[in-house]
Amino acid sequence: MASRKFQKWAAGFPLTRGLVRREGEAMFDLLAGFCHSQVLMALVKLKIPHALMDGPATVQELALASSVPPERMEILLRAGVALKLLKYKRAGRFGLTRTGAALVGVPGLVQMIDHHDVLYRDLSDPVAFFRGEVETELADFWPYVFGGDMDPAVAATYSDLMADSQVLVAEDTLRAISLMGVHKLMDVGGGSGAFLRAVGQAYKNIDLTLFDLPEVAPAATHRFANAGMESRLTVQSRSFKTQAIPFGADAISLIRVLYDHSDETVADLLSKCFDALPSGGRLIISEPMLGDTKPERAGDVYFALYTLAMRTGKARSAASIGEMCRDAGFSQVTFPKASRPFVTRCIDVRKV
């Protein structure tokens, strides 16, 4: 396949030229991927999709609103069309495709895209990054990963982004795992309570407890009050790194928690969960994961690099997390089918 003579022949031979074209296009997409992501970020930061929610607009109208020269705005909009986020309309106007409209409507997606300039700077020298020679900025963006005190303003920003981006994770987790029979659920590392609110809306008779850092947990009380559910929430303002998990819950959830932390911290946390649960209690784990026997784009490319840039955790496969659960004392581990692995995968663990 590396032979130039063979490549030239295969590109012209009728039975192989289609394959050669597809493989060439795939290679070019890898090469151009950074340009694609930068077009996406520019559209988001200039709020082009939001502007087009009101209806199609011309290059001149969008250029004026964004303070971008019209000739450059046209290049950006045409790139958006090529990426199937935008489409041409009549009279030289541009509108949104279904994907472009979903970009605005998916909870937390715009906010996550908006902060990716931090990750891109961390990856600007990929060789130095993989050699471990880069002091990454992403760890500072998520300050909780190193523990210690957190500025209230930083904690609020962190809580808002976590809450917005947690909505889809909560939906897919509850689609994959039934909580029927659970009486009291404790969400450890639950941030502003997005998952617990989703549980509370789906299950009216489950008592809800949030366990998280003192700087983060108060946001949950505010959000529960806004939803008229404050009477159902108990808050435990603690750190699982330094304190035990209290008894009383018959189910514990860890939603996007493990991949933020080292193997040692995860092993300690799983042991604390085991000790806190009664016989028959459940542990629910939900987060993006690596592929088990076959690497996957979402887990093995995006989330593996993201957690590597955070410097404290790592993405793991479902099988490896299941083994860590067994090492902590759990004896029954099941892996529900994920509807969208790029959003989250789940593990349902029971203490027998």
Residuewise pLDDT in 10s, the chain (352 residues): 778 788 777 777 788 888 878 888 888 888 999 999 999 999 999 999 999 999 999 999 999 999 999 999 999 999 999 999 999 988 889 999 999 999 998 877 888 888 888 899 999 999 999 999 999 988 777 655 545 454 555 555 555 666 667 888 999 999 999 999 999 999 999 888 889 999 999 999 999 999 998 877 777 888 888 888 888 899 988 899 999 999 999 999 999 999 999 999 999 999 999 999 999 999 999 999 999 889 999 999 999 999 999 888 999 999 999 999 999 999 999 999 988 999 999 999 999 9
Residue 352 tokens read as: 């027998």
35 forms bridges with which residues in the sheet?
none
Give me the sign of the Cα torsion angle 312, 317, 318, 321: negative
Instruction: Check residue 260 and report its DSSP letter.
Output: G
Q: How confident is the model at residue 146, as a pLDDT? A: 46
Nearest to 266, CA basis, from 254, 277, 249, 280: 254
Domains of the chain: 4-104 (1.10.10.10), 117-350 (3.40.50.150)
- Segment 18-21 long-range contacts (CB within 8 Å, at least 24 positions apart): none
337 DSSP 8-state letter: P
Q: What is the pLDDT of residue 163?
A: 65
User: Measured between alpha carbons, how far is 89 from 116 in angstroms, rounded to an integer?
Assistant: 30
Q: Which residue has the tokens 């407890």?
A: 209
What the block records as the tokens of 304 is 């593996």
DSSP 3-state percent helix, strand, coil across the chain (nearest 5): 55, 15, 35
pLDDT for the residue 225 = 85
Element (H, E) at 321: helix 318-327
Per residue, what are the HEC states of 120-158? HHHCCCHHHHHHCCCCCCHHHHCHHHHCCCCCHHHHHHH
Quickly list DSSP for 20-51.
HHHHHHHHHHHHHHHHHHHHHHHHHHTTHHHH
C-alpha dihedral (120, 288, 300, 327), degrees to nearest 10: 130
Can you tell me the distance from the alpha carbon of 73 to that of 77, in angstroms, rounded to the nearest whole number?
6
Q: Is 261 left (phi over 0), alpha (psi -120 to 50) or beta?
A: beta
